[in-house]
């Protein structure tokens, strides 16, 4: 790929947006995608069994713009919606957006230029956070830094330190061959991104914000802790096993991420009485922390504060 290809919009981008009961926010998200300076794209809106006006909003955009495709399905969660969108995607590159977020107008053209410049498998944008408090949004803006190129090991290491969502990325469609999102779970982004990163050689990282993430008070990831949130713990356990096979040099980082998840979930289970099912999972996690106490203390990546929390949670 070169900049001439981008100028002539040779490559098609499939943008997949799972939609569920976000009538208040969806128009801003869709408008930010359809208004991109790079126009060779298809927008796949997957209506995941919405019960509000989201369904009608999706259909209205399909009437107004031929690039919009709408898929209506029975509610199955974000992972299920993303899988349906992937099956329908016809683009050379794939991007995901959450239906309550929005993008900078130059996002796709900028990320494609980075892919061309570095011959990359993926380009990662930066995210501005918009925090919601009592209906008012407060922005946490990030400073501009130089663009850079990275590799699979470096980006995977970063995933284990900071986590990784599906949004704010442009990824070669072919990398999704043979893999899909785990359905019926939350925190499904990290396992998928890990599998994708392990298939990549070169990753470009943008130095400027390209995506706005709306941190809503009632969103899935910010709602009250429940047994469902334990997917975070079990996903990191699954990731550890994958790293042992594919990138053993990153095992200490994968384990540090797992121990953080274990301590976080154990503490939440202790302070939120969730019944017998929660007690069962708490005992599993406490046993994990007790058995691995020496490994936790010797882990060079895990911060001291988390080591203390792991030790505390192994007893409570």
Strands 13-19 and 93-96: parallel
State the Cα–Cα distance between residues 246 and 240, nearest whole angstrom. Answer: 10
Q: Which of 172, 154, 146 is nearest to 12 (CA)?
A: 172
| Cα-to-chain-centroid distance, residue 117 | 25
pLDDT of residue 224: 64
pLDDT of residue 219: 53
C-beta neighbour count of 258 within 10 angstroms: 26
State the Cα–Cα distance between residues 315 and 290, nearest whole angstrom. Answer: 8
With a CB cutoff of 8 Å and minimum separation 6, the contacts of 180 are 83, 86
C-beta neighbour count of 157 within 10 angstroms: 19
- DSSP H helical segments within the chain, as ranges? 3-7, 26-34, 54-64, 78-88, 107-118, 152-162, 189-197, 231-246, 251-271, 275-291, 293-298, 304-313
Mean pLDDT in consecutive groups of 10 residues from the start of the chain, 316 residues? 80 98 97 98 98 98 98 96 98 97 97 96 93 76 88 96 93 97 89 96 95 74 69 95 97 98 90 72 93 96 95 87
Token pair 């359905």 is at which residue? 183
Contact between residue 175 and residue 200 where contact means Cβ atoms under 8 Å apart: yes
Q: Which two tokens stand for residue 165?
A: 């969502």
* Superfamily (CATH H level) for 3-221: Spore Coat Polysaccharide Biosynthesis Protein SpsA; Chain A (3.90.550.10)
pTM of the predicted structure, to 2 decimals? 0.92
State the Cα–Cα distance between residues 183 and 150, nearest whole angstrom. Answer: 30
State the Cα–Cα distance between residues 114 and 187, nearest whole angstrom. Answer: 28
State the Cα–Cα distance between residues 30 and 102, nearest whole angstrom. Answer: 8
pLDDT of residue 32: 98
Burial 24-63 (b: 16+ CB within 10 A, else e): ebbebbbebbbebebebbbbbbbbbbbeeebbebbeebee
pLDDT of residue 270: 77
Q: 245: helix, coil or strand? A: helix
pLDDT of residue 280: 86
Instruction: Provide the 8-state DSSP code for 105.
Output: T
State the Cα–Cα distance between residues 227 and 151, nearest whole angstrom. Answer: 35
pLDDT of residue 106: 97
Question: What are the angstrom distances between the C-alpha of 128 and each of 20, 101, 207?
Answer: 23, 10, 12
């Amino acid at each position: 790929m070169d900049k001439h290809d981008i100028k002539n919009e040779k490559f098609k981008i499939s943008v997949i947006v799972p939609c569920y009961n976000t009538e208040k926010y969806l128009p801003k998200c869709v408008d930010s995608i359809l208004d991109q300076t790079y126009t060779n794209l298809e927008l796949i809106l997957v209506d995941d069994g919405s019960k509000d006006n989201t369904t009608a909003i999706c259909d209205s955009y399909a009437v107004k713009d031929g690039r919009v495709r709408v898929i209506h399905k029975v509610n199955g969660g974000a992972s299920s919606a993303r899988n349906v969108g992937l099956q329908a995607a016809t683009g050379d590159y794939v991007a995901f957006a959450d239906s309550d977020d929005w993008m900078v107008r130059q996002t796709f053209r900028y990320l494609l230029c980075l892919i061309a410049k570095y011959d990359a498998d993926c380009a990662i944008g930066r995210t501005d956070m918009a925090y919601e408090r009592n209906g008012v949004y407060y922005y946490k803006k990030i400073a501009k830094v130089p663009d850079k190129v990275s590799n699979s090991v470096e980006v995977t290491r970063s995933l284990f330190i900071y986590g990784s969502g599906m949004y704010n990325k442009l990824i070669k469609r072919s990398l999704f061959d043979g893999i899909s999102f785990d359905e019926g779970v939350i925190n499904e982004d990290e396992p998928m991104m890990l599998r994708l990163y392990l298939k990549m050689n070169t990753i470009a990282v943008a130095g400027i914000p390209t995506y706005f993430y709306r941190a809503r008070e009632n969103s899935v990831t910010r709602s009250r802790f429940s047994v469902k949130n334990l997917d975070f713990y079990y996903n990191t356990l699954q990731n550890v096993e994958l790293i042992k096979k594919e990138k053993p040099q990153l095992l200490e980082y994968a384990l540090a991420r797992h121990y953080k998840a274990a301590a976080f979930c154990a503490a939440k289970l202790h302070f939120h009485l969730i019944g017998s099912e929660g007690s069962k999972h708490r005992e599993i996690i406490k046993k994990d922390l007790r058995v691995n106490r020496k490994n936790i203390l010797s882990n060079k990546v895990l911060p001291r504060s988390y080591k203390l929390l792991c030790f505390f949670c192994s007893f409570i």
